[in-house]
Amino acid sequence: MGMRSLSIFRRGRGRRRSPPATHSAGRTGGRSGKDGGVRREVIVAVVAGAVAIGTAVVTAWFTQWGVIPSSADPSPTPEASAPASVSSTTSSASPVSTPRSTRPAPGGSLPVALDLVQQERLEASGETWVTANAADLTDRELAQLDSLRVFANAADPKLSMPQFFRGIGAVDPGESFIKVVLRGARPEGVRITGMTAITECGPPLRGTLFYSPPAGEEASAPIGFDLDEPEPKAQRIPDEGDWEKDYFARRTISLAHNETIALRLETVTAEHYCEYTFQMQVATATGAVTQVIDNAGKPFAVSALLRNNAKGDLAFKDYQQLYVGGVGNPHGDDLGWNLWDAAKYERVYYGID
């Protein structure tokens, strides 16, 4: 209507070079019939335009109030996705199938409760330790170290040598022992069907060697892991002879609800420094579950000792720093910890000098 009215007025202006008269129609009786025709055309156009405008306004009002349905809805605006925690019953999308996790869902209960996970240093292992970097102990720290009991009860608040060495970042040499107490946590019971060590290994540490060898027999545990193997599995360690490959190949460990069992796990390496955790395969009524045993969220660690030759002679001279204590001292009357020149101690130890 707007464009149509505008075009009519333009035609009128094209025919009349003077501005349109502002007088009423009663005063224009003497004008020509031609001008009267133009006037009637303009009036008709104005009336038609007014009717069109009124019709549009009324139609819009009825459409807004739902009396007349809209014939051209605007494109729908995408709705925001519902929060993940709110389930929708109107969705037509098919559910996505996902593989069953080998771990319990967040907040789910583990089939085996870990009542205790504790690093141990058996008395038969002595007090040899190794660090990644040179450790310069002060005279005060050496005096403190000499005053410590070698093996303190875990419930005793007094610091022990293992606590001291672990506190400065030292790790077990060649072998380590982990004591775990496992408890069945499912009413229907569970079975432990396998256990492996997950490792990250590199060259042996060569920082500081704290050397204090055992004076008695070597320590052992019933279940062992050779960390120098590509995929270390639990092996049975007999009282005599070679380790029996795959401890769980012929046996499983069954745990009724709240039943407990204590295990001592031994890890060994002759070639590497390894950080490791254990993975335990557990059979449950609802399927297999893999559980991790770690050191309070961190890996355990053990390092092979540096060797000179195939006979396994210790390479003392290859360490950046050497402290010797206990029966490792060449002089039997001095069992305290002493700083040695590593190359000199090696010559004394092997009787080269």
Domain assignment of residue 207, yes or no: yes
Is 136 within 8 Å of 321 (Cβ atoms)? yes
pLDDT of residue 61: 47
d(CA 347, CA 353): 6
Looking at the domain assignment, is residue 190 inside a domain? yes
Strands in 203-272 per DSSP E: 208-211, 223-226, 235-236, 253-255, 260-268
Domain assignment present for residue 33? The answer is no
pLDDT, position 351? 87
Reported pTM: 0.67
Q: Give the per-residue pLDDT at 30.
A: 41
351 Rama sector, left if φ>0, alpha if ψ -120 to 50, beta otherwise: left
Residue 226 lies in a domain: yes
Q: What are phi and psi of 51, to 5 degrees?
A: -65, -40
Does a structural domain hold residue 19?
no
Residues of the chain with pLDDT under 50: 1-38, 42, 57-58, 61-107, 153-155, 157
pLDDT of residue 148: 83
Domain count, the chain: 1
Let me know if residue 99 belongs to a domain: no
Residue 106 lies in a domain: no
Q: Is residue 291 part of a domain?
A: yes
Domain that holds residue 153: 112-349
The closest alpha carbon to 12, from 29, 31, 37, belongs to 37
The confidence score (pLDDT) of residue 332 equals 66
